[in-house]
C-alpha cells in the first residue's frame, strides 16, 4: 500500500486483490475525520464548539456569520485545539454581540 505526501493510504497496482477492501477502508478511515462543520448561535461572551471526534492535530477553523442583521458582524475562532475552539462575534464598532455562525474545521 502506498501513501500520499499528506499521509493518506491508497492501493498500489501491485497489491493483492484480496487486500483491496482493506485498502479502501483504510483510505475512508484516514479521510473521515479531516473536516467537521456546524452552525450555532454565539453568545456575547463567546461560545465553545466541540470537535467530535477529536482531530489528530489542531485544525484550521473558518467561521462566518450565518446572517447579518442590520449591521456587519465579524467572527473569530480562538483557543483552537484538537477537541474544540471558542467562537466570538462582534459588530463593526468592536462591541461583542450574539449571532448565528457557520463554521468549518479542516485538517490541512
Phi, psi of 104 (to 5 degrees): -140, 135
Query: Residue 25's pLDDT is what?
Result: 84
Helix (H) or strand (E) holding 73: strand 73-78
19 has a pLDDT exceeding 80: no
Residue range 52-66, pLDDT digits in tens = 999 999 999 999 988
> What residue spans define the domains of the chain?
1-32, 35-108
Q: Kindly state the average pLDDT of the residues 61-72.
A: 79
* C-alpha grid cell, residue 72: 456587519
- The mean per-residue pLDDT over the stretch 9-28 comes to 80
pLDDT recorded at residue 108: 85
8 Å CB contact between 36 and 51: yes
CA–chain centroid gap for 78, Å, is 13
Please give the average per-residue pLDDT across 47-53, as a whole number.
Answer: 96
pLDDT at 61: 98
Give CATH for domain 35-108.
2.60.40.2080
Higher pLDDT, 38 or 13: 38
Amino acid at each position: 500500500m502506498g501513501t500520499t505526501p499528506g499521509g493518506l493510504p491508497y492501493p498500489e497496482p501491485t497489491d493483492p486483490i484480496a487486500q483491496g477492501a482493506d485498502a479502501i477502508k483504510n483510505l475512508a478511515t484516514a479521510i473521515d475525520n479531516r473536516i467537521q462543520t456546524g452552525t450555532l448561535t454565539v453568545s456575547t461572551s463567546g461560545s465553545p464548539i466541540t470537535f467530535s471526534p477529536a482531530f489528530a492535530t489542531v485544525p484550521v477553523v473558518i467561521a462566518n456569520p450565518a446572517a447579518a442583521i442590520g449591521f456587519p458582524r465579524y467572527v473569530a475562532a480562538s483557543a483552537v485545539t484538537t477537541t474544540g475552539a471558542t467562537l466570538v462575534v462582534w459588530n463593526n464598532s468592536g462591541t461583542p454581540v450574539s449571532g448565528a455562525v457557520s463554521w468549518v474545521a479542516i485538517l490541512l
